[in-house]
Amino acid sequence: MSLRKDTTHIEAVTGASGWAVKSASLQGQLLIASPHIQDSRFHHSVIMMCQHDQSSAMGVIINCKSDGINLAKLFDTMDLDAPRFCGNQTVHIGGPVDNSRGFVLHSQDHMRPESVEVTHEIGLTCSVKILKDITDGIGPQHSIVSLGYAGWQGGQLEAEIAQNSWLNLPATSQLLFHTDCNDVWHHAYATLGIDPANYVDQPGNA
């Protein structure tokens, strides 16, 4: 969705052809920031990878809540009627790219025609209609509403992974929707069986 009321749907960032899953694709994986990443935009971030192929990659940070923005305030910004339900649900910052675009990661108990299946459990929808479903009480049981995304050009993410800037593991609804936002990064490392304090950021030493 967009912050403009007259724009009710945005296409996937990379276009329809970009959603095809290729071998070695990280779509459906969680990208976990190395403890040594100092960039404040990605420090201790965990990213749900929604698309990854040879030409580009994009994902949504799942553990960065916005400062004081909830669905009620977002609806007011978009000149929409006040939400009936879930007005207090916090809006996340999905990444540093195009923070006027909205992305909703959600459980697949409610999929719209425009929704994309990221994993067998997790869907992604980029339309205002799903926000209205959520706030009307008929939407998915679990959701993360975000503004902005993280994006990479072809080969850029692979180069960062080769430098041990990121780890990855399969995404689960437990980590996305049932783990406290402040604990997701530590839980991801625990799932991998790695102590972040002992993580070495030199290639070949992780």
pLDDT (0 to 100) of residue 198: 87
pTM of the model: 0.87
Amino acid in position 17: S
Tens of pLDDT, residue by residue over 26-64, are 999 999 999 999 899 999 999 999 999 999 999 999 999
Burial (CB count within 10 angstroms: exposed 0-12, middle 13-18, buried 19+), residue 82: exposed
Kind plus residue range of the DSSP H or E element containing 18:
none
- Non-local (6+) Cβ contacts of 38 within 8 A are none
Confidence label for 3 from pLDDT (cuts 50, 70 and 90):
very low
Tens of pLDDT, residue by residue over 114-159, are 999 999 999 999 999 999 999 999 999 999 999 999 999 999 999 9
Helix ranges restricted to H, the chain? 71-77, 128-135, 156-162, 173-177, 184-192
Question: What domains can you pick out in the chain, each with its CATH number?
Answer: 27-195 (3.40.1740.10)
CA distance 166 to 31: 6
